[in-house]
Amino acid sequence: MATDLYEVLGVSKTATADEIKKAYRKLARELHPDVNPDAAAQERFKQVTAAYEVLSDEKQRAAYDRGGFDEFGGFGANGFDLGDFVNAFFGGTATQRGPRARMTRGQDALIRMRIELSEAVFGVEKEITVDTAIACKTCDATGSASGSELISCSMCKGRGEVSSVQRSFLGDVRTTRACPQCSGFGNVIEHPCTECSGEGRVRTRRNVKVVVPGGVDTGLRLKLSGQSEVGAWGGPAGDLYVEILVNEHPSLKRSGDDLHLQISIPVTAATLGCSVSIPSLDGNKSLKVPAGIQPGTVLSIKNLGATHLRGSGRGDLLVHVMVEVPKDVDTKQKKLLEELAKLRGEEEPTANITTELQNDSFFTKLKDAFGR
């Protein structure tokens, strides 16, 4: 029994041209081989495409409605190119026929490189070793052995594609695909190069220079154009991306372009004031601590932070000052402290209520700020 073309598209026999087009568009998006690789879906796609070919044409539809088409005879007697039809329907141009070029661009690659905080702040030049592909010197990237040339493919006669005709309930359906013998190139390498096995490139390890600008941070990627693997048969090289990972510093923490340092001083030094030596990426620096400094106070030293990646100058070094309260005091020290408390009227101290809770340390504040 002949299959109803209207049923294939899921429309009524009185459907308008727009309704038929919308029905086909919906089915094509579900069944197109690029979306649904299932063999049954591909066969179904051929059927709905063939049905649409008839019903979208006024003359062929009229002939079909009059019974002028049977299951095997009328439609597709001369065949049609499914690939061209589908591409044209979706708004593109017909697939360009002919062999495809052998030369292809090499793939991009991503590697990760660890650096120290000082290198991230000031910049550094490093060499990294990459495992990649380079052009074969033996055959000069042609893939052919010395004295050998490419020959035309005997299966496709140099066209790079072959066609086949399948008999369906709607008639003959012709499809075109890349030639399996030459992979669509239209020619074959008669005698492949023994060094690269006919691909025109070989694997090797080589050193690549990476210039890291000052101010980079973890996660930033540097692009090295043309430093990845070369393409097959002399194709251009891809790009190499280097992702920066900055190692933790033993005492300095980075936040944006500022560096943070936490120090602790004795309660006597906090009370009387002092000068202390602190570490920085520029060497040890002298820091003046004012008398009466309170725990958690932040002192800033300009231009000792990270280099601004975009622009000039540097961030600041922010020093978080903590006060060490002695846990063990001897009798003499205790007596002196009691005398001090008496002099300051603090024998019976009262608690001062503050509205802001103090975190245990600056590092806790950083964790809270960045959620880690």
CB within 8 Å of 316: residues ≥ 6 apart: 258, 259, 300, 301, 302, 303, 304, 305
Q: What is the Cα 26 distance to its own chain's centre?
A: 32
> Which pair of tokens denotes residue 256?
């944006």
pLDDT for residue 123: 95
Are 229 and 240 spatial neighbours (Cβ–Cβ below 8 Å)? no
Are 111 and 130 spatial neighbours (Cβ–Cβ below 8 Å)? yes
Which region holds residue 262: left if phi is over 0, alpha if psi is between -120 and 50, else beta? beta
pLDDT for residue 83: 43
Summarize the confidence of residues 356-365 as an average pLDDT: 53
Q: What predicted TM-score, i.e. pTM, was given to this entire model?
A: 0.63
pLDDT digits (tens, 9 = 90+) for 256-272: 999 999 999 999 999 99
* Distance in angstroms (rounded) separating the CA atoms of residues 229 and 235: 10
Whether the pLDDT of residue 141 is over 50: the answer is: yes
pLDDT range class, residue 167, cuts 50, 70, 90: low
All domains of the chain in start order, with CATH: 5-89 (1.10.287.110), 99-140+200-248 (2.60.260.20), 252-370 (2.60.260.20)
> Which ranges of 36-170 would DSSP assign to H, the alpha helix?
39-55, 58-65, 82-89, 117-122
Residue 311 class from Cβ within 10 Å (0-12 exposed, 13-18 middle, 19+ buried)? exposed
